[in-house]
Amino acid sequence: MEPVVDSWPQPRVHQPPSALTGLSVVGWSHQVTPLAVLERVALTRRDRPALLAALADAGGADVVVLSTCSRTELYAGPAGPGSDALLAALAEHLQVGAAELAATSERRTGLAVVEHLFRVTSGLESRVVGEAEIRAQVRGAVREAQLAGLAVPALAPLFAAAVRCAMRVDDVTALSRQARSLGRRAVDVGLARVGRVDDPVVLVVGAGRMARTAVERLKELGSRPQVAARSEVEASRLVGSGAVCPLPALAAGVANADLLICATSAAHDVVTLDHVRTAMRTRSRPLTVVDLSVPRNVDVAISAVPGVDLIDVEGLHDDLASDQELAGKLAAGSAVVQSEAGLFADAVCARAAGPVIDSVREAVEQLCLRELTRVAAGHVEPEVLTRAAHSIAGKLLHRPTLTARAAAATGDAHMLRVLGDLFCARGPGDGSVASLR
């Protein structure tokens, strides 16, 4: 019998890295990081371009920086720097010691990065579970990276998949229908602390997204808030020109308020001790202040002023222990995330193992076709033989295909080489199966 195997191409399967191992994230979040540390690593919209530019100059072609009032996280793909390099770049940007940052950081790699990002984007890691703002912040983080010249070849599809997962979580939990957000929570908690006051006077400081959310919630409740902001034009768009408190007259606005909500992104205190002391000298009723800003934009020293009740973002967390319905939704959302992360990883691994799988399948199909042609030549149409060879190869290689995908997922280069050798398959030209595209 003709030694058909001897005519196969010789194996040329190179050692590939794992399809997901190249992913990493280093970060700080409200769940494990004290507010005093979290505000030190917070990156405002004005700060982030400089950091991204520095990362791009350092060769970090695959980096995304996500910074919100609850977390600061630096993601890197296979073409990006590792966690140590990310930490070093952030430390230099913040002018603090890298060892100091490392001591309070969380690090994840591989599939854990996928699962974490999917949970974050779905609002399952937020102070207010299911809040919708984070989805827009995730989209914005990718746009900022791309504007900085970072190609994010692997992270762009990962972040897009995270947004799709968030939409799936929302379909299952319906949390967005409850309009859950930190801005709304600030209003509800603040008014509850004010207590029994007929038609309380509310002053919102700021005119950004969080301030707008708070104003919308106040209007829903029938309140007519005042707004103080750097731009009186933006403030008037929220509440009308008659309800604008000029920022230079902030002390007078505070003196008239029962509840003050600060939602700004300044690098310094916007509501100062002098503002509050001056205001409290002219009144006898208490004042409740909610500071939504990270870093904090209300001087923490005001909490020592008699009659002042100060609440920062740490006082706005969900209480899952006392809300069984919310805890159930969190569990349902977590199950969706785990499933979607697994599907994403499977798809990545399928693409990563593709060159090996394709070469094995080509070799087996060629063998099947040659044998079928040798036996049935002149009796069966060539097109029929080709389809039969394709079908037989598919059935024979079902389990080896699954094995190749699993090997790519774990970086098991030995198994991929064994598969190539077993079928004498020709490997990919460049040997790399690490792309997440």
Contact 204, 215 (CB under 8 A): yes
- How many CB atoms sit inside 10 A of residue 296's CB? 21
Q: List, as own/partner pairs, every contact residues 368-375 make where C-beta atoms lie below 8 angstroms and the sequence separation is at least 24, other chains included.
A: 368/392, 368/393, 370/4, 371/4, 374/2
Domain assignment present for 279: yes
End position of a domain, from candidates 178, 202, 226: 178
Counting DSSP H helices and E strands in the chain, the numbers are 17, 9
Which parts of 252-348 are beta strand (E)?
259-262, 287-291, 308-311
Q: Are residues 64 and 100 in the same domain?
A: yes
Which residues are bridge partners to 289 per DSSP?
260, 310
Q: Is the pLDDT of residue 411 over 70?
A: no
Contact 23, 382 (CB under 8 A): no
Distance CA 137, CA 208 (A): 13
End position of a domain, from candidates 123, 151, 178: 178
Q: Does residue 317 sit in helix, strand or coil?
A: coil
Domain assignment present for 11: no
Q: Are residues 285 and 150 in the same domain?
A: no
Q: Is the pLDDT of residue 358 over 80?
A: no
- State if pTM tops 0.85: no
Q: Does residue 350 sit in helix, strand or coil?
A: helix
Span 149-176, average pLDDT:
90
Of 20, 49, 67, give the one whose Cα is nearest residue 146: 49
Sort strands 287-291 and 308-311 into parallel, antiparallel or unpaired.
Answer: parallel
Distance CA 214, CA 369 (A): 69
Predicted local distance difference test score (pLDDT) of residue 328: 94
Domain assignment present for 341: no
Q: Are residues 2 and 129 in the same domain?
A: no
Which residues are bridge partners to 309 per DSSP?
288
Q: Are residues 125 and 238 in the same domain?
A: no
* Least confident interval from 135-144, 292-301, 338-347, 399-408: 399-408
Predicted local distance difference test score (pLDDT) of residue 166: 96
Q: Are residues 65 and 144 in the same domain?
A: yes
Q: Is the pLDDT of residue 4 over 50?
A: no
Domain assignment present for 136: yes
Q: Does residue 193 sit in helix, strand or coil?
A: helix
* Least confident interval from 46-60, 128-142, 182-196, 316-330: 46-60
Predicted local distance difference test score (pLDDT) of residue 37: 92
Domain assignment present for 18: no
Q: Are residues 378 and 426 in the same domain?
A: yes
* Residue 182 parent element (H or E): helix 182-194
Confidence category of residue 80, pLDDT binned at 50, 70, 90: confident
The CATH number covering residue 252 comes to 3.40.50.720
Prior bond of 295 cis (ω within 30°): yes
As given in the structure block, the two tokens for residue 149 are 């010249």
Q: Are residues 28 and 159 in the same domain?
A: yes
Residue bearing tokens 């992360």:
341
Span 374-388, average pLDDT:
86
Distance CA 425, CA 437 (A): 24
Contact 356, 13 (CB under 8 A): yes
The CATH number covering residue 32 comes to 3.30.460.30
Residue 125, domain extent: 24-178
Contacts of 215 by beta carbon, 8 Å cutoff, 6+ apart: 204, 225, 227, 238, 239
The type of residue at 23 is L
In degrees, rounded to 5, the angle at the alpha carbon of residue 291 between the alpha carbons of residues 288 and 294 is 170
Domain assignment present for 233: yes
* Least confident interval from 164-173, 391-400, 425-434: 425-434
The total domain count for the chain is: 3
Mean pLDDT of all residues belonging to the chain: 86
* Least confident interval from 58-62, 368-372, 382-386: 58-62
Residues above pLDDT 90, as percent of the chain:
55
Of 78, 56, 52, give the one whose Cα is nearest residue 66: 52
Q: Are residues 34 and 130 in the same domain?
A: yes
CB-count exposure of residue 75 (10 Å: 0-12, 13-18, 19+): buried
CA distances from 226 to 108, 259, 289 (A): 44, 11, 14
Predicted local distance difference test score (pLDDT) of residue 18: 53
Predicted local distance difference test score (pLDDT) of residue 57: 79
Give residue-wise pLDDT tens across range 6-22. Answer: 443 333 333 334 557 78
Confidence category of residue 431, pLDDT binned at 50, 70, 90: very low
Q: Are residues 173 and 213 in the same domain?
A: no
Sort strands 71-76 and 24-29 into parallel, antiparallel or unpaired.
Answer: antiparallel
Predicted local distance difference test score (pLDDT) of residue 356: 74
Contacts of 174 by beta carbon, 8 Å cutoff, 6+ apart: 329
Which is more confidently placed, 244 or 365? 244
Distance CA 36, CA 213 (A): 25
Q: Are residues 147 and 218 in the same domain?
A: no
Of 203, 209, 201, give the one whose Cα is nearest residue 293: 209
End position of a domain, from candidates 271, 299, 318: 318
Span 110-114, average pLDDT:
92
Span 157-179, average pLDDT:
92
How many CA atoms lie within 13 Å of 206's alpha carbon, on the beta-carbon side? 25
Q: Are residues 168 and 273 in the same domain?
A: no
Domain assignment present for 338: no
Predicted local distance difference test score (pLDDT) of residue 56: 83
* Residue 29 parent element (H or E): strand 24-29
Give residue-wise pLDDT tens across range 190-237. Answer: 999 998 888 899 999 999 999 999 999 999 999 999 999 999 999 999
The type of residue at 297 is N
Q: Is the pLDDT of residue 435 over 60?
A: no
Q: Are residues 77 and 153 in the same domain?
A: yes
Q: Does residue 79 sit in helix, strand or coil?
A: coil
Distance CA 417, CA 355 (A): 12
Confidence category of residue 41, pLDDT binned at 50, 70, 90: very high
Predicted local distance difference test score (pLDDT) of residue 424: 62
Domain assignment present for 250: yes
